[in-house]
């Protein structure tokens, strides 16, 4: 079983107390660590208006949790959050696959750009994260006519 990256977004009823939100986060964190996963990041987005009413609720408290682990964590979180009284919606999405697809598309675009630059006789672009080489023959002095004595 390989570890994968997931994002869990859940919406809590707007009348939930700060303590209930904290307790729910602690429960999610406990499930992830008990099943040998790691909680990478937690982002409380706060109270927001819902796109559509869910039961009597027009707004909710949003929380994003990013974690790494196996599919058993996803199943357990889904099961637990469905029966939690204060949770009105939850969604778990696997993000490592989306990132891999985006990385492959970026590599294809960069290769195509390099091929077109070469076909036009232009030098290749520097690798990301490296400083471009300064031209040794370029004049780097600046003439300032106001400082003449």
Indicate the range of 44-58, 60-74, 91-105, 131-145 predicted with least confidence: 131-145
Mean of the pLDDT values across residues 8-27?
94
Proportion of the chain above pLDDT 90, given as a percent:
56
Token pair in block for residue 120: 């036009």
User: Could you report the per-residue pLDDT of 63-108, keeping only the tens digit for each?
Assistant: 999 999 998 999 999 999 999 989 999 999 988 777 778 788 888 8
The pLDDT assigned to 88 comes to: 94
Mean of the pLDDT values across residues 14-31?
93
What's the mean per-residue pLDDT of the chain?
84
10 Å CB burial of residue 82 (0-12, 13-18, 19+) is exposed
């Amino acid at each position: 079983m390989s570890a994968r990256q997931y994002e869990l977004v859940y919406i809590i009823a707007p009348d939930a107390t700060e303590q209930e939100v904290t307790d729910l986060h602690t429960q999610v964190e406990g499930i992830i660590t008990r099943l040998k996963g790691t909680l990478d990041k937690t982002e409380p987005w706060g109270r927001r208006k819902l796109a559509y009413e869910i039961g009597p609720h027009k707004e909710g408290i949003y929380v994003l949790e990013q974690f790494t682990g196996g599919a058993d964590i996803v199943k357990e979180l889904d099961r637990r959050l469905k029966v939690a009284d204060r949770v009105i919606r939850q969604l778990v999405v696997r993000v490592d696959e989306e990132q891999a697809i985006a990385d492959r598309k970026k590599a294809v675009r960069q290769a195509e750009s390099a091929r077109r630059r070469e076909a036009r006789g232009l030098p290749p672009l520097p690798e990301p994260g490296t400083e471009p080489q300064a031209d040794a023959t370029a004049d780097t002095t600046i003439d300032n006519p106001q400082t003449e004595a």
